[in-house]
Chains A and B, each alone.
Chain A
Amino acid sequence: MSAPTKTYTAKSTTGRAQTEPAMVRWGLTAVALVFLVLFLVLPLAAVFSQAFEKGLAVYLEALREPDTLSSIKLTLITASVSVPLNLFFGVTAAWAIAKFSFPGKNLLITLIDLPFSVSPVVSGLIYVLIFGLQGWIGPWLQEHDIRIVFAVPGIILATIFVTFPFVARELIPLMEAQGKDEEEAAMVLGASGLQTFFRVTFPNIKWGIIYGVILCNARAMGEFGAVSVVSGHIRGMTNTVPLHVEILYNEYNYTAAFAVASLLAFLALITLAIKTVAEWKVRQQLENN
């Protein structure tokens, strides 16, 4: 803009018309960044700052506490059951939906997405209504001394419900975009169904699977509402890490609460990093096809 006289070259016209003056650009960028810092960076920084407020020794001590350790163990168990189940489901559902055409396909996709639109509290409640003492099969379960709600199986079931769509909804559009030519070629050349899947399909959807699994895992380890309803909050027994954070916080044990919360925040950061890489790889793969 230093030119003293207006020049009407084609370049300057389109350049000016397709973007805003530099002042406006900087202004908008600044507003957007301030908003994001206030809403994203500040909370993230606060978690770690509060956790380390009283020094590393107190931080480590909070993490070594037996109840914390047992909550970590329960969260790991929950994720290690629910994530593989939903992964298996996601791959089979995506195979059926992306590689074949059948009536009712759109309805099926909508139903798979359903758990995302149900409130976490309602997701927990439905299992209490079935397996709780006042529930459908609750009395029968009690007679046979089987505990589902207010015990570990209930926590796992509720977690499976809330993380149900993650892998499937990532893989369905990806596999649809890739079509089925490569698989058909493999079959015609004499490969078995499993060979076709593992040698042809799998390499194509590998990063999509990683993307789905990492988000599924983050939600499985971090779910609060649904798990809170079915857990019964028995310390050291049915407390997952997020529930343990709540208990510590409500006991005004802020440093310990944030120390445990920092583990989850760290998990979130790792999740974001892997997700970003996976997203980039998926895009690359789609462009190569």
Chain B
Amino acid sequence: MKLFKRHNNVLPGFGLTLGFTIFYLSVIVLIPLSALVFRTAGLTWGEFISTVTAPRVLASYKVTFGAAMIAAAVNSIFGVLVAWVLVRYRFPGRRIVDALVDLPFALPTAVAGITLATIYSPNGWVGRFLEPHGIKVAFTPLGIVLAMTFIGLPFVVRTVQPVMEEIEVELEEAAVCLGASRRQTLQRVIFPMLLPSILTGFALSFARAVGEYGSIIFIAGNMPMVSEITPLLIITKLEQFDYQGATAIACVMLLASFSMLLVINLLQRWSRRFSD
């Protein structure tokens, strides 16, 4: 234990708790994830590339990442608006609305999926008003964007909200005293302070949407080349006992998650520098 400088720490249990933490992390997370990487390494490079760049797979990336991008953008705009309204304005029922924002975290994805599919189907509560205008949501790529917006909704609100709460009144007062209009204050003082957290929220919402499965499959229609998301393709391959194909595509997804995790970590470090 000489390796770890303990600085005369009188608290006990360091070795035991850290040991258990690393053991449990390895058994549950690291070893299983490494299985995926090792299984992919069993493929030749040519096999791997031809599997992960097959036309149907490429189409699924386009649908998944494209829809996730749109959904994250929608969530960034409305997320900032919702956070602003919750932090700055007072209206009856504000606390309930605030609590309700986390509903997509708490509501199981399958429930969200069947509900959105029902509401937005041509004779559903919302779908019946869209149908006459030629807008089809359920069973089209638009449905995928909708489901992804639903599950990503809390991320931007919850990353931007605490930063907004900590903006000091003095900064705005200073801007006003120096002759800034309200618009200038918002644009040049408040928005730059919020930007790192907005980008973090965008990235979190995007990352969640890319991996999402349960809420999407019910509303997507799941047509190959058109509205088939990558996670569904992995399951389809698995059901056809195409383990190699499933593994290779899953490895690409894992790589995408790792890159996004890296970006999110960098963004968070950046926003922390701003708040200090």
A interface with B by C-beta (< 8 Å): 13-14, 16-20, 25, 28-29, 31-33, 35-36, 38-44, 46-47, 50, 89, 92-93, 95-97, 99-103, 108, 110-115, 117-122, 125-130, 132, 134-136, 157, 160-161, 164, 180, 183-184, 187-188, 193, 196, 215, 218, 221-225, 228-229, 241-243, 245-246, 249, 254, 257-258, 261, 264-265, 267-269, 271-273, 275-276
Which segment of B29-37, B50-58, B191-199 sits at the interface? B29-37
With both beta carbons as reference points, the residue of chain A lying nearest to B36 in the complex is identified as A126
The answer to whether residues A261 and B101 also contact, given A95-B13, A118-B254, A161-B29 and a CB cut-off of 8 A, is no
Contact of A93 among B21, B95, B97 (CB under 8 A): B21
- In the complex, per-residue mask of B24-53: 1 if CB is within 8 Å of any chain A CB, else 0: 110011111101100100000000000000
B106 touches A29 (CB 8 A): no
B interface with A by C-beta (< 8 Å): 4-7, 9-14, 16-18, 20-22, 24-25, 28-33, 35-36, 39, 78, 81-82, 84-86, 88-89, 91, 95, 97, 99-112, 114-116, 118-119, 125-126, 149-150, 153, 169, 172-173, 175-176, 180-182, 185, 207, 210-214, 218, 231-232, 234-235, 238, 243, 246-247, 250, 253-254, 257-258, 260-261, 264-265
**Bound Cα distance A238, B35 (Å):** 24
With both beta carbons as reference points, the residue of chain A lying nearest to B86 in the complex is identified as A32
Distance between B260 CB and nearest chain A CB, rounded to angstroms: 6
B29 touches A229 (CB 8 A): no
Question: 9 tightest CB-CB pairs across the interface, nearest first?
Answer: A222-B108, A119-B211, A224-B214, A225-B213, A17-B176, A193-B12, A96-B17, A268-B106, A121-B231
Distance between A117 CB and nearest chain B CB, rounded to angstroms: 4
**Bound Cα distance A196, B243 (Å):** 50
**Bound Cα distance A268, B207 (Å):** 23
B24 touches A117 (CB 8 A): no
Chain A residues with CB below 8 A from B265, complex form: 110
Chain B residues with CB below 8 A from A225, complex form: 109, 212-214, 231
Contact of B119 among A32, A42, A101, A269 (CB under 8 A): A42
Distance between A11 CB and nearest chain B CB, rounded to angstroms: 12
**Bound Cα distance A32, B253 (Å):** 33
Chain B residues with CB below 8 A from A44, complex form: 103, 107
**Bound Cα distance A43, B21 (Å):** 39
Number of A-B contacts (CB under 8 A): 284
Distance between B118 CB and nearest chain A CB, rounded to angstroms: 6
23 examples of A-B residue contacts, CB within 8 angstroms: A17-B176, A17-B181, A18-B173, A25-B89, A40-B104, A41-B100, A43-B107, A99-B11, A102-B4, A119-B253, A120-B212, A121-B235, A130-B31, A187-B10, A193-B13, A224-B108, A224-B214, A261-B115, A264-B108, A265-B111, A267-B106, A268-B108, A273-B99
**Bound Cα distance A36, B109 (Å):** 18
Distance between B267 CB and nearest chain A CB, rounded to angstroms: 13
The answer to whether residues A32 and B238 also contact, given A111-B25, A224-B109, A245-B111 and a CB cut-off of 8 A, is no
Distance between A254 CB and nearest chain B CB, rounded to angstroms: 7
Chain A residues with CB below 8 A from B32, complex form: 126-127, 129-130, 161
Contact of A136 among B35, B214, B246 (CB under 8 A): B35
Distance between B220 CB and nearest chain A CB, rounded to angstroms: 14
With both beta carbons as reference points, the residue of chain A lying nearest to B107 in the complex is identified as A268
Contact of B18 among A16, A100, A113, A130 (CB under 8 A): A100
**Bound Cα distance A19, B125 (Å):** 36
Q: Chain A binding site: helix, strand, loop or mixed by DSSP?
A: helix
Contact of A32 among B81, B104, B207 (CB under 8 A): B81
Distance between A155 CB and nearest chain B CB, rounded to angstroms: 14
Contact of A188 among B10, B150, B235, B247 (CB under 8 A): B10
The answer to whether residues A29 and B231 also contact, given A18-B173, A119-B210 and a CB cut-off of 8 A, is no
Chain B residues with CB below 8 A from A36, complex form: 82, 97, 100-101
B9 touches A100 (CB 8 A): yes
B182 touches A40 (CB 8 A): no
A29 touches B89 (CB 8 A): yes
Chain A residues with CB below 8 A from B17, complex form: 92-93, 95-96
Distance between B238 CB and nearest chain A CB, rounded to angstroms: 7
A89 touches B108 (CB 8 A): no
B235 touches A28 (CB 8 A): no
**Bound Cα distance A115, B247 (Å):** 17
* Residue of B11, B176, B250 with most chain A CB atoms under a 10 A cut-off: B11
**Bound Cα distance A117, B255 (Å):** 11
A46 touches B33 (CB 8 A): no
With both beta carbons as reference points, the residue of chain B lying nearest to A250 in the complex is identified as B218
With both beta carbons as reference points, the residue of chain A lying nearest to B21 in the complex is identified as A93
A276 touches B214 (CB 8 A): no
Distance between A78 CB and nearest chain B CB, rounded to angstroms: 13
Contact of B35 among A126, A273, A275 (CB under 8 A): A126
The answer to whether residues A125 and B118 also contact, given A17-B182, A111-B25, A161-B29 and a CB cut-off of 8 A, is no
A117 touches B235 (CB 8 A): no
Chain A residues with CB below 8 A from B106, complex form: 215, 218, 222, 267-269, 271-272, 275
Chain A residues with CB below 8 A from B39, complex form: 129
With both beta carbons as reference points, the residue of chain A lying nearest to B180 in the complex is identified as A17
**Bound Cα distance A277, B166 (Å):** 22
